[in-house]
C-alpha cells in the first residue's frame, strides 16, 4: 500500500483521481490539498463522492508521501515545486503542461519522463517523475504512433477533433456557460493548440525526419466529456496492411484497441480506453480516435502511470465500464 497526495484538489481531474484512487487496492489517499477549500468536505465539492468518503481538503502537505499528483493550472506546477520540497523518495506525476516538452523536462534537481505508456512504458517504470500527456495530445498521438514508428508519415496530417465541456476546466468563461454551450458548436485555437508541441515531439522521436504539417482544428462540443478525433494522411498501403500494422503496434497495450467497426464516443466515456478505427479512401488513411478526456486524457492515464512506476498491474483500479446509456 502506498501513500499518495493530491495538490489542487477541487478541479475535474482531481475529482476523478479521488474517485478512482478511493477504490484502488494498492493506494491510500494521505491528503488532498486545496487552500481555497481547506477543512471543507471533499464531497461538498465533488458531489458524486457523497457517501463514499468523509475526507476533507487540507492546507497542510505531507512531504514524505510515496507519490504526489499535481493537478494545478498550466504554468503553476513549477512555481509550486519551487516553493515546496518533497522528500527524495517522493515520486511526482504532473498533470499540467509544465514538463512535457524536452526543454522543460529538467527542473531544479527534478527530471521528468513523458508519460504516454504506449510509447514510453519501460521508461515510465524506471521514472521518478512523470509529465502526464495532454488530453488532445493523447488521442492524436495514439492515432499516429504506428505510422511514425514505421516512418510512414511523409505527408501533411489533417485533424478535426471535438472535446467536451470538461476539457475547459471548472473556471467559468463565456464559452463554458451552459447557455452558450448548449445546442452549440465552435472551433478554437485553429492550427495553434498548445498540445501540438508534444505531438510534434513524439512524431520526431519515432521518425526523426518528420517535418510535415499537422493541421489541427480543435472544436468545442455540447456534451460534458470525451474526445472524438478524425485524423487523415496519405497512405499507399491497403486497409488490411494498415490494420495489421496498428494491431501489431498495440498488441501489448493495456487500454488501446483497434476496432474493425466504427467507434463512437459512448464506448469510451468513463473508461481509460482509447478506441481506434481505420478507413481507407483512395490514397488516404482515416484514423478515428476516441477517449475520455478526464480519464485516458488525464486522471486515468496518471493512475496507469502510477501503476507502472510502482510495479502494480497496469490495469489496477482502471477496469471501468463505459457509461453507455
Residue 238, SS3? Answer: coil
Closest CA to 65 of 319, 314, 306: 306
Instruction: Compute CA 107 distance to the chain's CA centroid, rounded to the nearest angstrom.
Output: 21
Residue 100 CA to residue 114 CA, distance in Å, equals 6
What φ, ψ does residue 256 adopt, rounded to 5°? -110, 125
CB 26 within 8 A of CB 316: yes
Residue 15, SS3? Answer: helix
Q: Known catalytic residue: 71? A: no
Closest CA to 290 of 251, 258, 313: 258
DSSP one-letter string for 72-102: PPTT-HHHHHHH----TT-EEEE-SSTT-SG
Which listed residue (32, 95, 127, 135) is catalytic? Answer: 135
Closest CA to 322 of 276, 265, 277: 265
Could you list the active site residues?
135
Amino acid at each position: 500500500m502506498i501513500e499518495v497526495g493530491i495538490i489542487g484538489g477541487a478541479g475535474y481531474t482531481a475529482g476523478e483521481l479521488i474517485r478512482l484512487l478511493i477504490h484502488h487496492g494498492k493506494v491510500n489517499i494521505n491528503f488532498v490539498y486545496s487552500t481555497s477549500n481547506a477543512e471543507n468536505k471533499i464531497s461538498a465539492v465533488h458531489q458524486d463522492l457523497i457517501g463514499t468518503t468523509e475526507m476533507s481538503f487540507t492546507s497542510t502537505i505531507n512531504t514524505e508521501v510515496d507519490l504526489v499528483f499535481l493537478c494545478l493550472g498550466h504554468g503553476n506546477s513549477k512555481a509550486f515545486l519551487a516553493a515546496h520540497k518533497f522528500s527524495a523518495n517522493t515520486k511526482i506525476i504532473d498533470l499540467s503542461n509544465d514538463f512535457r516538452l524536452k526543454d522543460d523536462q529538467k527542473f531544479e534537481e527534478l527530471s521528468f519522463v513523458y508519460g504516454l505508456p504506449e510509447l514510453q512504458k519501460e521508461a515510465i517504470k524506471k521514472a521518478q517523475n512523470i509529465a502526464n500527456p495532454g488530453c488532445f495530445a493523447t488521442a492524436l498521438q495514439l492515432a499516429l504512433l504506428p505510422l511514425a514508428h514505421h516512418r510512414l508519415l511523409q505527408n501533411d496530417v489533417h485533424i478535426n477533433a471535438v472535446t467536451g465541456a470538461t476539457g475547459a476546466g471548472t473556471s467559468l468563461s463565456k464559452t463554458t456557460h451552459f447557455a452558450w454551450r448548449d445546442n452549440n458548436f465552435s472551433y478554437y485555437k485553429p492550427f495553434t493548440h498548445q498540445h501540438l508541441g508534444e505531438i510534434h515531439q513524439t512524431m520526431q522521436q519515432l521518425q526523426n525526419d518528420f517535418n510535415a504539417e499537422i493541421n489541427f482544428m480543435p472544436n468545442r462540443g455540447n456534451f460534458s466529456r470525451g474526445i472524438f478525433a478524425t485524423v487523415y494522411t496519405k497512405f499507399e498501403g491497403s486497409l488490411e496492411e494498415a490494420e495489421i500494422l496498428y494491431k501489431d503496434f498495440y498488441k501489448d497495450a493495456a487500454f488501446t484497441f483497434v476496432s474493425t467497426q466504427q467507434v463512437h464516443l459512448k464506448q469510451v466515456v468513463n473508461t481509460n480506453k482509447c478506441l481506434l478505427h481505420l478507413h481507407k479512401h483512395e490514397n488516404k488513411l482515416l484514423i478515428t480516435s476516441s477517449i475520455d478526456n478526464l480519464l485516458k486524457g488525464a486522471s486515468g492515464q496518471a493512475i496507469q502511470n502510477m501503476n507502472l512506476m510502482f510495479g502494480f498491474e497496469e490495469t489496477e483500479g482502471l477496469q471501468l465500464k463505459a457509461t453507455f446509456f
